[in-house]
Homo-oligomer: A and B are copies of this chain.
Amino acid sequence: MPAHRTARERARAELTAEIKDEARRQLADSGANGLSLRAVARELGMVSSALYRYFPSRDELLTALIVDAYNALGDTLDTASASASASGGSPADRWRAAAHALRSWARTHPHEYALLYGTPVPGYRAPDDTIVPAGRVPGAFLWIARDAWHAGDLPVNGAEPDDTLRTQARTIATALDLSGLPEVVILRAVDAWTQLFGTVALEFTGQFANTLDPADAYFARAVELQLRTAGLA
């Protein structure tokens, strides 16, 4: 374990990245099912079997892309939320910023969005490594509620959830580092998150075509509703 990186190590890291980049490019062209190891290798001027030095199978490559995509989306949301906060925005402003960032990421990265939230690829089972990065996405929104609550900006009201929901809310709290947050606050934020997700998902799958399309106005309206649902406005 030398501090310096050998030529081999550097080459390996670079090629691994290049393989993922090219795979992402193909993803964007033809979707997850169109992702072919042979085509990736061809594009990189390698022989297809050489890829197996980097990823043991097609599924492992897909998993790497999924983890990267969750993290890219998580970063995008965190950045939007943080910069709204840095420029003096309220929790509601942070939610607005993150919500719009989610929508525009979905629109600019449709195949990566589909990889995360679309139909599961047949025969592919997401391994546990994806759980934590996946949580960053709802997390980005729940953390806004958490901060607002700690700042005293979030009233605790609404009916007390029953036992099942309280337990599940505690599980969410543990997974997403929301300790101290009342269950009802968590659940109201989850409610808002599902609304947000539904709006993005419906637009993404084309269900707004011919009616709410372009959906900018409706999306803005939906975000305001989310704020009321979460208790942020």
Contacts and interface: CB of A to CB of B under 8 A. Distances in A.
B168 A205 contact: no
A103 B91 CA distance: 32
B33 A222 contact: no
A122 interface: yes
B34 A218 contact: no
A175 B122 contact: no
Contact of A201 (B30, B123, B201, B229): B201
A32 to B, nearest CB: 7
A212 B225 contact: no
Nearest to A221: B165
A126 B131 CA distance: 33
A131 B165 contact: no
Contacts of A225: 191, 229
Given A197-B201, A197-B202, 8 more contacts: A31-B120, A134-B207, A138-B207, A165-B217, A165-B218, A171-B210, A187-B221, A229-B229
Contacts of A164: 217
Interface stretch (A13-21, A42-50, A111-119, A144-152): A111-119
A190 interface: yes
